[in-house]
Structure 1
Amino acid sequence: MDPDLSEYIIGRIANYEGGRMVPQIMKRTGLGNKDAKTLFLYFLHGSFAINKRHHFTKDDEWYHEVKMLNQFINAGYKSFTHNK
């Protein structure tokens, strides 16, 4: 996939989902807007990379990787709640 197209798609998703997701991240972590947006973009780029690597097909390996990444992300969220 053309890198410019990838960035365009990520930008569109960020614009569409950011207004909903960033406040949720702020609430869950206690972070400010700027830091929550950084985490959102990190999640978005990572998720897109996994989907792209699997050619946007949800096979068994994709499900395994997404489950592992969600576990990793949830552990990160927990670290913020312990530091409040």
Structure 2
Amino acid sequence: MDLADRDAMASLFDQQKFQRVIHLGAQAGVRYSIENPHAYADSNLIGHLNILEGCRHHKIEHLLYASSSSVYGLNRKMPFSTED
């Protein structure tokens, strides 16, 4: 399913009646975003917005979103921290 397809995502949330959502459908990596900016934005921005809206409108209890490892770069310190 295309996460950027607002109508399809709305139908999915209507039909499935989720209690929790785990979002792992993002495009990772900086290079891909440079080579394919529209596909990257559709997946990571519009797709994520559609998931957030589905959760909001259907009062989803929990949303787990796994961010790309690209956010943390080459940090070798464990565990990772947003402060590093």
TM-score range, shorter chain: 0.3 to 0.5
TM-score, with structure 1 as normaliser = 0.37
- Normalized per residue, the structure richer in strand is 2
TM-score, L = length of structure 2: 0.37
**Higher Rg:** 2
Q: Where is the helix percentage greater, Structure 1 or Structure 2? A: 1
Which of the pair has the greater relative contact order for Cα pairs under 8 Å at 6+ separation?
A: 2
